[in-house]
């Protein structure tokens, strides 16, 4: 990893301070005094946390703005947003979010919506702390005790995947995502096999035909080995065409997948309604949505059975709450994206939505290392396959900035991986 970069001077402020002053009289004199980004990578995955500080001594909020692959752009974007927030009353969450979103003129994309997400979560954290209550109570309180979780099992062979799945089930998991390898680094969620395509221009290339052959065999073996009680999930990672997505879904019907994730790339989402109609198994999509508007279209057009967004990329929990309400009205369930590139703050936010929304379906989980626990005291852990929200005010998660500084972020390793994901003829494949 690279050494921490020195702080760059902030842009010169030439706008009169009254331009962004509080637009109406607030019921309290508490004001935002600073907004800054904290970047850390305790697992080698850059995480971006926005911290909003206030005029009340010790009162601050944390929000996740993680865009692992382009985290430096998020940090730079925050400098443009900072002056919009300083001096404002933190309780006007909706107005502040609209200001951040609309002021850039161009909107509805990553980076800007990552910053919006971090600001959103941090303001809700402050709201909970001021109320002396967990954020989920501000959302109306629980409709369930905890969120059921799935974790990932992936091996270079089917047997290795089965071994990992059995370990997860032994720890209390009732839902397991299964992936297995094939030649090359291109396959997703599992290490590669030792095989090579000796005839290919790229011997370690990713081949759709091989994937379509191996995946039904994976499911058949998992059902034989693990039994019928466990729910099995699988991530296609946006690699198929509309027709081959339907072929895969039909080939897996007898093994009863809980869902197939990201069967099509975003460029082909207009075809998703037809794919979902033809699929005998549930379809989960939304990880690559970069705005709440994109995600809402997936729900409104009946393109998905599960909506599965990265809350740190679509506008935060305010956007997530709207999507959950829409999903409930349309008979769609939520499955928020939350692997290692979601910070523990984002996990707390996702679980607050999970336990307050009737549309909840399943929650993706991640087992964080000890360093992450040190950096984020109060973070919630998976216990017996459940994530239970903290009863502490706000999100219940803090950040130890001194510990965070020990794990500086470098460039994401995703770039190097993506550069090697090629077809047997050498053409790049969308990762």
For 233, the token pair is: 């999930």
For 297, the enclosing helix (H) or strand (E) is helix 292-300
Q: What is the 3-state secondary structure (H, E, C) of 93-154?
A: HHHHHHHHHHHCCCCCCCCHHHHHHHHHHHHHHHHHHHHCCEHHHHCCCCCCCCEEEEEEEE
DSSP string, 239-282: ---HHHHHHHHHHHGGG--SEEE--S-GGGGGGHHHHHHH-SS-
In whole angstroms, give the CA distance from residue 54 to residue 59. Answer: 6
355-387 exposure pattern, b = at least 16 Cβ within 10 A, e = fewer = bbbebbbbbbbbebeebbeebbebbbebeebbb
- Whether 373 is a known active-site residue: answer no
Asked if residues 179 and 190 have their Cβ atoms less than 8 Å apart, the reply is yes
- Whether 237 is a known active-site residue: answer yes
Residue that has been written with the tokens 């997948």 in this structure: 257
144-182 exposure pattern, b = at least 16 Cβ within 10 A, e = fewer = eebbbbbbbbbbbbbebbbebbeebbeeebbbbbbbbbb
Pairing of strands 283-285, 306-307: parallel
Q: Which listed residue (175, 237, 310, 366) is catalytic?
A: 237
Angle at 257 between CA 254 and CA 262, to 5 degrees: 125
Q: Which listed residue (188, 211, 255, 368) is catalytic?
A: 188
Asked if residues 26 and 92 have their Cβ atoms less than 8 Å apart, the reply is yes
Eight-state DSSP code of residue 201:
S
Residues catalogued as catalytic: 188, 237
């Amino acid at each position: 990893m690279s050494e921490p970069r020195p702080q760059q001077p902030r842009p010169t402020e030439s706008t009169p301070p009254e331009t962004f002053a509080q637009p109406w009289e607030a019921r309290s004199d508490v004001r935002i005094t600073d907004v800054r980004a904290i970047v850390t990578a305790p697992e080698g995955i850059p995480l971006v946390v926005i911290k909003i500080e206030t005029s009340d001594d010790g009162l601050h909020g944390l929000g996740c703005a993680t865009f692992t692959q382009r985290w430096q752009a998020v940090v730079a974007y925050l400098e443009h947003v900072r002056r919009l927030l300083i001096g404002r009353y933190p309780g006007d969450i909706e107005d502040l979010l609209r200001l951040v979103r609309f002021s850039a003129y161009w909107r509805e994309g990553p980076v800007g919506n990552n910053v919006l997400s971090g600001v959103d979560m941090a303001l809700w954290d402050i709201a909970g702390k001021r109320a002396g209550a967990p954020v989920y109570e501000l959302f109306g309180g629980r409709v369930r005790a905890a969120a059921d979780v799935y974790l990932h099992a992936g091996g270079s062979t089917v047997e290795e995947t089965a071994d990992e799945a059995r370990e997860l089930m032994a720890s209390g998991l009732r839902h397991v995502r299964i992936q297995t390898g094939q030649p090359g680094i291109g396959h997703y969620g599992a290490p590669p096999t030792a095989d090579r395509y000796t005839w290919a221009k790229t011997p370690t290339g990713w081949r759709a035909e091989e994937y379509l052959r191996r995946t039904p065999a994976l499911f058949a073996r998992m059902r034989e080995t693990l039994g019928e009680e466990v729910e099995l999930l699988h991530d296609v990672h946006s690699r198929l065409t509309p027709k081959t997505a339907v072929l895969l879904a039909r080939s897996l019907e007898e093994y009863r997948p809980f869902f197939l994730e990201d069967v099509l790339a975003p460029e082909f989402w207009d075809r998703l309604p037809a794919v979902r109609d033809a699929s005998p198994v549930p379809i989960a999509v939304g990880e690559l949505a970069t705005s709440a508007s994109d995600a809402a279209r997936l729900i409104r057009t009946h393109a998905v059975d599960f909506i599965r967004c990265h809350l740190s990329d679509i506008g935060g929990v305010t956007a997530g709450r709207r999507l959950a309400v829409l999903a409930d009205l349309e008979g769609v369930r939520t499955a928020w994206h939350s692997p290692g590139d979601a910070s523990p703050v984002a996990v707390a936010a996702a679980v607050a939505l999970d336990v307050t929304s009737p549309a909840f379906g399943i929650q993706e989980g991640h087992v964080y290392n000890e360093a992450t626990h040190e950096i984020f005291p109060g973070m919630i852990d998976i216990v017996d396959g459940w994530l239970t929200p903290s009863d502490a005010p706000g999100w219940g998660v803090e950040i130890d900035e001194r510990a965070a500084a020990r794990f500086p972020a470098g460039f994401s390793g995703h770039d190097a991986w993506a550069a090697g994901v090629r077809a047997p003829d050498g053409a790049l494949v969308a990762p």
